[in-house]
Homo-oligomer: A and B are copies of this chain.
Amino acid sequence: MATDAAGPDGNVPVDKMPRTERGRRTQRAILDAAAAEFGEKGFHEGSISGITRRAGVALGSFYTYFDSKDAVFRALVADMSAQVRDHVAPAIRGADGRIAAERAGLLEFIRFVRTHKEIYRIIDEAEFVDPASFRRHYSTTAERIAARIRTGPEDAQAEVHAWAIMGMNVFLGLRYGVWDEDRSPEDVADVIASLLARGIFGSREGAKGAKEGI
């Protein structure tokens, strides 16, 4: 990756930031087109001309906002990461209690994934195309989860719990959002809320394991 292609946080560098509302719309159209292009073809087969064709913009407009294919891919990973965060945040903030907040986060994540199935392919491909973006996406997501579940400064378990919750959500989104929609997001979120509240066997009537402890 060209190191000057995007800012250190993966976002568009300052000198490439759109200054007008029209500019912001064009940049948005390019990012949406890049999601479609890379989601369908992958990074290596995807092209800038494919992106500008999908976006209906001229090649010059592309280079007004992005230096290269690497740069738009890197900005796209940061953009999808922010889109997920912004989509789930209101539901998490509006939830009544910590378990309800995690339930709402998972529910909205599965809903988001069902309408943005390309997100997995793009973020997963970042592991190979731009490892720093890949690591940044998961590190910042885990830190955000840890911040909301941490019970105090001494809470040494919060980081492990945050990675566990993120892993659950990613795989449940893959299974029930991308691969198959054979179970409702509400049902999946209810099962996980119960697990987080009472443990994996605690909520099942007559579950043999509940009596076994650890």
Contacts and interface: CB of A to CB of B under 8 A. Distances in A.
A147 interface: no
A161 B195 contact: yes
Contacts of A169: 167
A50 interface: no
Given A167-B172, A171-B166, A214 B194 contact: yes
A140 interface: no
Contacts of A36: none
A127 B178 CA distance: 13
Q: How many copies does the complex hold?
A: 2
A204 B142 contact: no
Interface residues of A, number: 61
Given A97-B213, A99-B214, A171 B163 contact: yes
Nearest to A42: B128
Given A98-B201, A99-B200, 19 more contacts: A97-B213, A97-B214, A99-B214, A100-B212, A121-B128, A138-B171, A138-B174, A155-B204, A157-B191, A160-B172, A163-B171, A163-B172, A164-B168, A164-B195, A167-B168, A167-B169, A167-B172, A168-B168, A170-B171
30 contacts: A96-B212, A97-B212, A98-B208, A99-B213, A103-B214, A121-B127, A124-B124, A138-B174, A151-B207, A155-B204, A157-B191, A157-B203, A160-B172, A160-B191, A161-B191, A163-B172, A163-B175, A164-B171, A167-B168, A167-B171, A168-B168, A195-B196, A195-B199, A196-B199, A196-B200, A196-B201, A197-B200, A197-B202, A198-B198, A198-B199
